[in-house]
């Protein structure tokens, strides 16, 4: 189990680095003179890096091994952290975020596969759970760690990255001791084809829409929570910013774990209801300049997003032939990460040319309408099934 623990730590460390900037965005905004829409673009290019990385390098660990790919992910994460550490302009920050996206794309596939392969047959069921905890735990830990350091330690734009680099160094040393689980072949680089098998198209679209709505909210929380707290609530508080986003990621993981206990027919309806409630809470937080509904929204949207993601993965795993699952999984995550980025930029533009109240109201309405549309579609699908029975 030591190999599993080290691999999970490597995975966790790479994902941690991707969310370190979250509570620092308001500080970068003031230090570099960037505006809210540029902050959201800075967040969004990370998601673009993840999507491109998944499409071009998603199969790389199957060919050259899990260890080399995880090592590359750690090194790319270290390059991104180093650029953040010395950055003095928006351009360097953007380059660092794209590189960070590539590191996350590599670590997600290789780390998840390696953890499952290193477990004995009697404990294979632990693989998805440990991978989920490493992934979402890293995302949650990065924003919380950076928020605490920025709030109560010196050099807020430097110290977090020094700590991140130290963790990456420890992970790289540990990775050396891990055994390889894949026989290497000659690597080939090409865009992975995206397709949705017709046998699950309806379920896929509904799961993608609901999970995408949740990812959109997580993206906006990640990119503009600091702006909301600072401008509307008068709370220039990196630790609080980190905590809000921490809640979102932690409860996304909890939602996936809880969904394993729910009947499949309950997952998506419950997720849609949660997302409608979360949209209302976000509107309340923005329009009423209130902290409590913002914290509640992070919890509720996490639960709903986790459940919707779990439902989408389950529909692919159970309804798609093995030889086509890779394409379907890639399509699913490409949609989610695209939706993670685009609404954040849209909110940034509305903030820039109108104000945060308009941005929050419009965004909340769109999320609620999307979730309600999926919910109505699900009810219509279930009604003929009951009549035919």
Which pLDDT belongs to residue 385?
45
Nearest Cα to Cα of residue 59 among 175, 178, 187: 187
Instruction: Tell me the per-residue pLDDT of 34-54, one tens digit each, with 9 for 90 and over.
Output: 887 888 888 889 888 888 888
Distance CA 149, CA 369 (A): 38
Distance CA 351, CA 166 (A): 37
pTM exceeding 0.85: yes
- Residues 6 or more apart whose CB falls under 8 angstroms from that of 72 comprise 106
Q: Give me the percent of the chain exceeding a pLDDT of 70.
A: 92
Nearest Cα to Cα of residue 137 among 11, 32, 311: 11
Mark the ranges of the chain whose per-residue pLDDT is less than 50: 385-389
Alpha helices in the chain (DSSP H): 2-19, 25-32, 36-57, 60-64, 66-86, 90-118, 126-152, 159-176, 201-231, 238-259, 264-287, 291-319, 325-353, 356-388
Structure-block tokens of residue 177: 């001791």
Q: What is the DSSP letter of 122?
A: G
């Amino acid at each position: 189990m030591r190999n599993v623990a080290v691999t999970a730590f490597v995975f966790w460390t790479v994902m941690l680095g991707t969310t370190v900037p979250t509570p620092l965005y308001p500080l970068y905004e003031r230090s570099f003179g960037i505006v809210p829409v540029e902050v959201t673009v800075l967040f969004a290019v990370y998601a673009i890096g993840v999507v491109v990385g998944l499409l071009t390098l998603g199969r790389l660990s199957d060919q050259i091994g899990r260890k080399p790919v995880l090592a590359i992910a750690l090194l790319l994460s270290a390059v991104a952290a180093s650029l953040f550490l010395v950055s003095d302009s928006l351009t360097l920050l953007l380059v660092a975020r794209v590189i960070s996206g590539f590191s996350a794309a590599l670590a997600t596939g290789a780390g998840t596969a390696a953890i499952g392969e290193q477990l004995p047959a009697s404990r294979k069921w632990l693989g998805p759970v440990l991978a989920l905890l490493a992934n979402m735990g890293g995302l949650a830990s990065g924003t919380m760690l950076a928020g605490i350091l920025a709030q109560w330690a010196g050099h807020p734009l430097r110290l977090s990255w020094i700590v991140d680099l130290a963790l990456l160094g420890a992970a790289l040393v540990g990775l050396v001791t891990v055994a390889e689980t894949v026989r290497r072949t000659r690597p080939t680089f090409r865009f992975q084809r995206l397709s949705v098998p017709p046998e699950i198209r309806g379920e896929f679209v509904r799961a993608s829409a609901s999970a995408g709505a949740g990812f959109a909210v997580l993206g906006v929380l990640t990119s503009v929570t600091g702006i909301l707290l600072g401008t509307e609530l008068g709370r220039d508080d990196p630790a609080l910013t980190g905590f809000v986003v921490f809640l979102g990621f932690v409860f996304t993981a909890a939602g996936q774990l809880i969904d394993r206990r729910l009947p499949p027919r309950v997952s998506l309806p419950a997720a849609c209801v949660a997302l409608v409630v979360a949209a209302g809470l976000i509107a309340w937080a923005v329009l009423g300049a209130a902290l409590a509904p913002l914290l509640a929204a992070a919890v509720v949207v996490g639960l709903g997003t986790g459940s919707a993601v779990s439902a989408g993965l389950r529909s692919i795993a159970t309804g798609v032939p093995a030889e086509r699952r890779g394409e379907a999984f890639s399509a699913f995550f490409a949609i989610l990460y695209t939706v993670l980025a685009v609404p954040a930029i849209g909110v940034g533009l509305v903030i820039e040319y109108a104000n945060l109240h308009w941005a929050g109201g419009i965004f909340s309405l769109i999320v609620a309408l999307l979730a309600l549309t999926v919910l109505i579609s699900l009810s219509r699908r279930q009604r003929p099934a009951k009549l035919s029975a």
